[in-house]
A and B are shown apart, each in its own frame.
Chain A
Amino acid sequence: MSLKLQNISKNFKQFALKEINLEIKQGEYFVILGPSGAGKTLILEMIAGLLKPDAGAVSGIDRGKIGFIYQDYMLFPHLTVYENIAYGLKIRKRDSREIKALIEKLAARQDIEHLLQRDVLNLSGGEKQRVAIARALAVSPRVFLLDEPTAALDRNARIKTRSMFMDLHKETAATFVHVTHDFEEALALADRIAILIDGGIVQCGRPDDVFNNPAGKETADFLGYRNVFGGKVENGLIDIDGVTVAVPLEKADYAYIAIRTDDIIISKQRIESSARNSFYGTVKNVINKSSMVEVVLEVGGAGSAPPNGIELAVDITRKSKEEMGIEPGMPMWATFKVSSIKIFRH
């Protein structure tokens, strides 16, 4: 049975969710990706039945079998770790010996046996997360709803958590709906991704498809595309503040283009090649990233000199940077193919 959201709409004071349609397959790891304030948590609350939509319906979910984990874990502060995990079981009036046995099992799985009698207030972020998952697991959920579950953690813990969620997904074979604003997290975990911007789903699909073919300018921005520009298109050329770029589109009053940082080649001399876009410019900044180096190039029209150009971000390896001796202020050429340009109407 797949989880269906049909034509869900909900109005709030300064914000609205607009006609959300999603079909999430049983056992799927589904990620809703969007900037903060896009309405991600509200969608989860509607799936869980905590919030009623103004229009539309959610179907295909057994609300007695939900594992909802909020960003700050929401461990009940007036209860101990043990009582927190037991909460859902006590509500279900399970026998206290049965509860004890189950909690011991869960505690061993989550590596929190030593915390069971502790207050929840002075646990670390990671410990809180493990307790929250144990509490959710206690009611054997068939659907996990995760609301930015890693946002409160530092980078290292965040990456470890990803792998923990993968294991949890494999082990429980439950459906996961995970919301996040972190596109790396989405890419790492998702079977499918939906992108939510301003209360509407703008794109939905497999992670690679979404990342390689963003549906619009906002999506491209949000997915971390660095070279996104807009302008008027005539005769297959887009005019971006006076810089003309050959694009795979004949004519448009206004359109946006995006070029991936690894689709651009930089060189000291002009490259004679089949690539139709080649620009002369100056290195403005050289930024070290974890595995690559980002070179920011200020370019004008073909052969002309900056300033008054546009900035192109180009990713190269550390080794290339060393070999070419790239420094700020150096004159360079940037070249890319028309076919590598993604074009959007909005």
Chain B
Amino acid sequence: MKFKIIFSFLGFLLLLFIAVPIFKMLTAADPAALLETAKDAEVYNAIFLTLRASLWATIAALLCGVPLAYLLARKDFRGKKLVEGIIDLPVIIPHTAAGIALLTVWGRNSWFSKLSGINIIGTEIAISLGMFFVSVPFLVNAVKEGFNLIDERYEKTAVTLGASPWKAFLTISLPMVKKSLISGSIMMWGRGISEFGAVVILAFHPMTAPVLIFERFRNFGLKYALPVTALLILISLMVFIVVRVFEDRKS
């Protein structure tokens, strides 16, 4: 009994630490100011730009990350530990550093820019790149764990029933990791939305919501930063809840 009480208490402390600031912030924003902010085109644009750019990053990550997650879960190969290490790298390096690193490859003076004649710095693409870099580990690792939990013999059985490896992957493996795909995508998308460090270096303009929050806070103070922050959190929460509920309904 004591065991349960102490554990619950410690867990409760942690929840408070997260929930109290968010609650305080949501309640601190004056409803009238919140409404005003929602009508502010700059805020509105920043929030939708953020959601959209992170969505592009997540879609791109699904395309390349799911095959990689599958390989990591199913195959043993030389250098596998190294690959896993590279995937985890963005989680541990400072995100401003990640932004600088990306600049060396995609920046104005980079090979990419010189050869293609395209400048992506300061565009939505650059924002997506920054978000992709810092949040892709969440998707790859979640999907990899998903594949790890699935007995390979399901795929083998499909092959004995006449399926090609492609067909077995599409009709058996992929549907069986649906839960991990969805939760991994939500995690990555959410992580992308919240990204500031890497994004601000690749594109100060157009402003994403986190950059706008920072800018308003620096130039006008807490009072003006609060409504934007509250709005971003409310919208993000709403989207997550809708996706989760939709997913639960289906399964």
Contacts and interface: CB of A to CB of B under 8 A. Distances in A.
Given A64-B162, A76-B176, A91-B163, 14 more contacts: A48-B156, A48-B159, A48-B160, A50-B159, A50-B160, A68-B160, A72-B151, A78-B175, A88-B161, A88-B162, A91-B161, A92-B162, A136-B161, A145-B160
Contacts of B156: 45, 48, 50, 68, 70, 74
B45 interface: no
Contacts of A77: 176
Interface of B: 151, 153-154, 156-163, 167, 171-172, 175-176, 178
Contacts of B158: 76, 87
Which one of B157, B160, B162 has the highest number of Cβ atoms from chain A below 10 Å of its Cβ? B160
15 contacts: A50-B159, A63-B160, A68-B156, A68-B157, A68-B160, A72-B151, A72-B153, A74-B153, A74-B154, A77-B176, A78-B175, A78-B176, A87-B171, A91-B161, A91-B162
Contacts of A74: 151, 153-154, 156-157
Interface string A29-46: 000000000000000010
A70 B157 contact: yes
Interface of A: 45, 48, 50, 63-64, 66-68, 70, 72, 74, 76-78, 87-88, 91-92, 135-136, 139, 145
A8 B12 CA distance: 60
Contacts of B160: 48, 50, 63, 66-68, 145
Tell me what chain B mostly uses at the interface: helix, strand, loop, or mixed: helix
B162 to A, nearest CB: 4
Contacts of B163: 87, 91
A139 B157 contact: no
Contacts of A78: 175-176, 178
| Closest 7 A/B residue pairs (Cβ) | A88-B161, A68-B160, A91-B162, A74-B157, A78-B175, A50-B156, A66-B160
B167 A91 contact: yes
A77 B159 CA distance: 16
A93 B23 CA distance: 56
Nearest to A88: B161
